[in-house]
Structure 1
Amino acid sequence: MRLLNNIKQITLVALLGIGMESCLDLDPVIYDKIIPENFYKTESDAKAAVTGIYSPLGSPGDIYGGWTETFWMINNLCADDTGTQRDDYEFMEKFQWNSTTYAAYKFYNMFVKEANRATLVIDDLQKSPIDDDVKKQYIAELQCIRGQYLFFLYDFYGTANVTTDVEILRHPENEIILERLPKDEFIKLIETDLKAAAEILPVSYDDSEYGRLTKGAAYTILEKLYMQEKRWADAETYCRKIQGLGYKLQPTYSSVFSIENERNNEIIWALPCQSETNGNGNTWTTHVLPPELPSFWTNSKVQRWNVYNMPWKYYDHHFQQPGDERAMAPSLITEFEYISNGETKLASRNNGYPNLVKGALPVKYPEDPTQISEKAGNDVVVYRYADVLLELAEAINEQNGPTQEAIGLVEQIRARAGIPNTIPTTATASKENFRDFILDERGRELYCEGHRRRDLIRHGKWIQSAVDQGYIPEGREADYKHMVLFPIPQEVIDESKGKIKQNEGY
C-alpha cells in the first residue's frame, strides 16, 4: 500500500464526495467541516460522492480518453490492431517498455487508490441515514465500480496490495504495509463485488443518469474475468444472463457508434460525451484523421492529428471478405480524396503518400456535425452486446466444440456486417479451427475498442503477435513472455520494504 502515503488524500476526497471532471452530471459538493454528524445526510450528498468515483473513467481522461497514454490507448497500441504515425509514441506499439516506463506502470497506483476510495465511500454510505433502498443501490454501484477498477488492476498487473479494511484506510498514520493479495483471493474479491452489485443494480437508468453502471455492466465485467481465467462454464452462464436483459444488435455496424443513434440497445456501457470545447469529448476521431480535408468528412472545424492507424498487415489478414461493412467508410478508410493547391488528389497505400496512410484509418465513430475542436460528442462505447455474443460463442466452443448455437452466434455478427452465410466449412471443422476463426472475427468486429490485447493473451498469441509484427526477434519469445503484464511502480516496491515484489521479468 506504498506505506499508505496516499490514503490521507483518498480519505479526504472520499469524505468531500467531490466528483472531479466527469461524464455524469455532477455539481461539486463541499462541506465546511468534515465530521460524521454532518456527512451524507441527504441523497444528493450520497449521489455526489458516488458519482465522484467515476471521474477517472471520464473521457477525455486517464482511462478511456483518446490520448496516447490512457488505459484504453495503451491496450490498443500494444495490440496488433492499432498503430501510430508518431515515432515518439511507438514505445508501446513496439514492445519497448520496461520497469521505468511511466505509461506502463502509471495505472497501478491510480487503480489501487480508486478501489480504496470506493471502499471508504461504501463505509460512509452504510452509516448514512438516507433511505435504505437508495443506499443499497448506491453501494451496489460502488461495488461494481470497485470491481471494474480491480479487474483493470488484474488485467494489467496481476494482483495488487488493495484492502477492504476501512480501519486500515482511515488510519494511515499506522503505516501498515500490505502485500499483494494471492491470486485466488484477488479474483474472489472481484467476483464478490460484481455478483453483489448485479443483484441490486437496475437494467437501465433514465436518460439523466445514462452512463452509470448497470446490471448488464456488472455481468459483462464478470464474464470477461471468467474468459481470461478460462472458466468457460462460468463465462457462458453470465453471457447468457446478459442475453436475457434485452440487448440486441443494431441493424448496421456504423450506427452503433453514431451520434444520431446514441444510447442504442446494443450498448451495455458507454461514457457520455459532449462536443463543447470545455466538455468531456471523444477525441478518437481527431487522433485518427489526417490533417488534409478528406472527402468523407464534411465538418471543417474538426481538428485532425493523424496519430493512429490500423497496420496494413492487420487489415490484409482480417478484411478479405467482399461486402464487409466493417471495412468500409465511414468505419474504416483505406483511401480518400483531398484538395491540395486547388487540385483534387487521392491518398492511398500505393500512390506515394505514405505519411498520410501508413495504415488504414480506423475512424470507427461517424461524424459529429456539431464538433468544433478536438472533441466529438459520440459517446465512448466501452462494452456492447456483439462482444458478448462472440465471447459466448467462444465459451461454448471451448466446452463443446463448434456447435450449431456457437456457429449461429458468430453468424449473427457477420450477417449484420453484410456477409451472411460466408463462414467457411474449414473454420467449423474442429474446436481449434473455430477458436482461431472466432479470434479473427473479434478482430474484425472489435478493432480499436481496447479488447484485442486481452484476446491475444487469452489465446496464447500475445507475444507471437509482436514477433509477427517484427517487434520481437523470432526465437527470443521466452525473453519477452513476462510482458503479458506491466511492471509495478518501483516506489511501491521500495516503500513496501521488500514485501511487494516486481512482476517477473522486469
Structure 2
Amino acid sequence: MKKLKLFSICILFFGTLSCTEDLNTEPLVELSLQQLLQEDPNAITGIMSKLYGSFALSGANGPGSSDISDDAGESPFLRGIINLQEFTADGMKNRWGDDGLDQLTTTSNWDANNKFFRYLYNRAFYTIPQCNNLLAVLSSVDVPNKEAVVSEVRFLRSLAYFYLIDCFGKGVLLTEDNLGSGTPLPQSSRQELFNFVESELLAIENTLPTTNEYGRANKAVGRMLLSKLYINAEVYTGTPKYTEALTFISKVINEGGYTLDPNFQHIFSGDNNTSPEIIYPLIADALVSQSYGNTTYLVNGSLNSATMTLSDYGATDGWGGHRATKAWYGLFGASAGELASSPDQRAHLFWTSGHTYEMTDYREWENGYPSTKFRNSNFFSSSSPTSFSSTDFPLYRLADAYLMYAECVVRGAGGGSISQAVDYVNQVRTRAGANTISAGDLTLDFILDERGRELMFEGHRRTDLIRFDKFTGGSYLWPWKGNTLNGASISTTYKLFPIPQQALEANPNLTQNPGY
C-alpha cells in the first residue's frame, strides 16, 4: 500500500461499477499514494473504488487475482459473509464438502485451522490497513470533498471491524496512528472494538454526505451500521442498547429517502441498481468487476443444469452447491403443498421440481430446495445470460430497517410505538402478498421468523439467531445442526468463531476464544 500502480485510464467509478485493471496492460507510472494525490487530487475516486471493491472482489486483476495470499475464488469478503452467516445457520446448506465447508454447514468440529475462518479474518485485516494508509495520506493532502471522503474511509474501516466484532469477538485495533509499528500490537477485547466503532460512526454521522454516488456511503448507510452495532450490543458487550438502535434506525427510515420496492424480486435481479429500497449495495458487474465471490457465488452456486434451466436466471454456469432447508421454506408452509399454495410471493422463490422437502442428506443436490431469490436476469428488461453476475448485493435495505424498528419496540426501546412497528411489518408483508398482522401477533418469535422470510441469504441470519438466543443450545433445532439429521444442541462456544491459527502465530498477543 506504500505505492500505487496507476494503469492507463482503467479507474472506473461506481456509476459504472468498481475499478478493474486489464490483465495485459503495463503500468505507465508508479507513484507513492501521496505523490499521486498531490499531482491529481481527483485520483481519489479510483482509490476509493478499490476500497469499496475490497468487500466484493478478490483482486484488481480479475476473478483469478487475489489481494491476499488466500485462494482468489474462495476468499472474497462477501463470499465469507455468506459462508459464515448463512451456511452456519438454519436456512441454507452447501453440499460440496470442501475442506472446512462441511464443518460450517453442520455447525460442528470448528477449529482454528479451518480456512474459511481465516479467509474472512484476513479480508478484514486487508481492508483495515488500506483505510489507515489512505487516512494517513489524506491528513496532509487536499482532495475534493475531503471531509466527506475521510468519513467514507472511516465508515469502510468500521464496516470491516463490525465483522470482526460479530464473528470473532476480538482482534487488534489498527488505526492510522500506529502505522509502521514494528512490534505486534496488543489484543483488543470485543468491548474495546465496539467502543472504537461506535465512536467512529458517531463522529462521522454528520460529515458523511446526505446523498452520494450509488454504491458509496452516505448518512443513512453510516446510521444503518450504527443501528446494527447497537441492536446487537447486548450480545457484544452485555449492555442492551435498543433505544439507541431505535434512534438511529428511525433516522434511516425518516431521513434516508428510501422506499420499499413494490417488486420484491427486483431487489435481487440484475437491474437492482434502480431499486429505491437498497440503502447500501456491494456492486457486481459481469464485465468490469468479475468475481467468484460476489453475487456470482449466490446465483451460480444455487443453480444446476441437471434440474434447472440456467438461462431463466441469467446464468450460463450452475455449480450445484447451495440449497435451502425447511427451516427457511418451512416458514411459509409445513409441507410442499402448503408452500406451493402460499399467497406470499417469497414462498415461491425456491426450485422444487425434482427436489425433496426434507433434507435427509445435505450432500445430495436433490435434498432441499435451491433458492432462486438471487438471479442474474433483469427484472424490467431482457438480458443475456453471462458467466458472472451483474446483480448487486443489498447489504442494507429498507425492509431490514423496518423489521429492526419493530424488534427494538418489542424489546422495550424508548421513543417508538407499537402501532408504527405493526405498520412497518405490515408494509413488508403486504408487499410480498402475505396477510397483515395485529399488535398481538408482534412477538419476538414472530419477528425472527419474519426476518427469515424476508432476509434469508442476505448475510444476517447467524447474527439474528444469536441475538434471539436461538443459535446455540437445544431450544431451536434445524436440519443438520450439530451434524445431526434433525438437529442437536451445540455448545455456546459456537457463538464465536475461533481465531485463525495463522493469526495466533503471527501475533503472540492474541489469545484463542474459549472452547477452541
Residue 453 (structure 1) aligned to one of 453, 458, 462: 462
Aligned partners of 1:222 and 1:238 also within 8 Å:
yes
Counterparts of 2:262 and 2:387, CA distance in 1: 29
What's the secondary structure of 2:387's corresponding residue? coil
Per the alignment, residue 108 of structure 1 pairs with 121
What are structure 1's unaligned runs of at least 5 residues?
Answer: 1-10, 336-345, 429-433
Which piece of structure 1 moves more, 283-292 or 24-33? 24-33
- The 8 Å contact of residues 310 and 317 in structure 2, kept in 1 or not, is answered as no
CA distance in 2, matches of 1:114, 1:414: 37
Aligned to 2:286: 275
Tell me, in whole angstroms, the C-alpha distance in 2 between the residues paired with 1:334 and 1:500: 47
Name 1:223's counterpart in structure 2. Answer: 227
1:5 corresponds in structure 2 to none
Equivalent in the alignment of 2:427? 412
Offset at residue 143 of structure 1 (A): 0.7
- Change beyond 3 A, Cα 1:35–1:375: closer
2:204 aligned residue (194, 197, 216): 197
Deviation at residue 464 of structure 1 after TM alignment: 3.8
Q: Is the 8 A contact 2:51 2:131 kept in 1?
A: yes
Aligned partners of 1:148 and 1:221 also within 8 Å = yes
Matched, 1:236 2:246: yes
C-alpha contact 2:13 2:46 (8 A) present in aligned 1: no
Q: CA deviation at 1:325?
A: 0.6
Aligned-residue Cα RMSD (Å) equals 3.5
Shift of 1:99: 1.4
Range 213-222 or range 111-120, more displaced = 111-120
* Matched-pair contact (CA < 8 Å) for 1:41–1:130: no
The offset of 1:487, in angstroms, is: 1.4
TM-score, with length taken from structure 2: 0.80
Q: Which moved more, 1:30-39 or 1:434-443?
A: 30-39
In the aligned structure 2, how far is the partner of 1:17 from the partner of 1:191?
A: 35
Which segment is superposed worse, 141-150 or 213-222? 213-222
Question: Alpha-carbon deviation of 1:461?
Answer: 0.8
TM-score by length of 1: 0.82
Give 2:423's aligned amino acid: G
**Aligned residue runs from structure 1 range 59-458, under 5 A:** 59=57, 70-88=80-98, 89-95=101-107, 96-131=109-144, 134-166=145-177, 168-169=178-179, 171-172=180-181, 175-205=182-212, 209-229=213-233, 230-244=240-254, 245-276=256-287, 279-280=290-291, 282-283=295-296, 284-292=298-306, 294=308, 298=312, 302-319=316-333, 322-328=342-348, 331-335=349-353, 349=357, 355-368=364-377, 370-399=383-412, 403-422=418-437, 425=440, 427-428=441-442, 434-458=443-467
Please say which structure displays the higher CA radius of gyration. 1
**Kindly tell me: are residues 113 and 225 of structure 1, through their superposed partners in 2, closer, same or farther at Cα, counting changes over 3 Å?**
same
| Alpha carbons 2:303, 2:310 under 8 Å: kept | no
For the residues of structure 2 that align with 1:288 and 1:58, how far apart are their CA atoms? 18
Report the Cα offset of residue 181 of structure 1: 1.8
Q: Which amino acid aligns with 2:175?
A: T
Q: 1:500 aligns with which of 485, 488, 510?
A: 510
**Could you report, residue by residue, the CA deviation over 1:297-336 in whole angstroms, capped at 9, with x for unpaired residues?**
53686211211010134322444572011011xx22322x
Per-residue displacement from partner, 1:155-182 (whole Å, max 9, x unpaired)?
A: 111121122253x31x34xx22211223
Q: Which moved more, 1:309-318 or 1:364-373?
A: 364-373
Alpha-carbon displacement from aligned partner over 1:33-82 (angstroms, at most 9, x marks no partner): 43856654432232232222223212577799899962333211111110
Q: Which runs of 5+ in 2 are unaligned?
A: 22-26, 60-71, 234-239
Counterpart contact for 1:216–1:268, Cα < 8 Å: yes
Offset of 1:193 from its aligned partner?
A: 2.0
The amino acid across from 1:414 in the alignment is: R
Q: Quick one: which amino acid aligns to residue 231 of structure 2?
A: M
**How many residues get paired?**
465
Greater percentage in helix: 1
Would the aligned equivalents of 1:393 and 1:409 in 2 still touch at CA under 8 Å? yes
8 Å CA contact 1:411–1:421 kept in 2: the answer is: yes
* 8 Å CA contact retained: 1:288, 1:306: yes
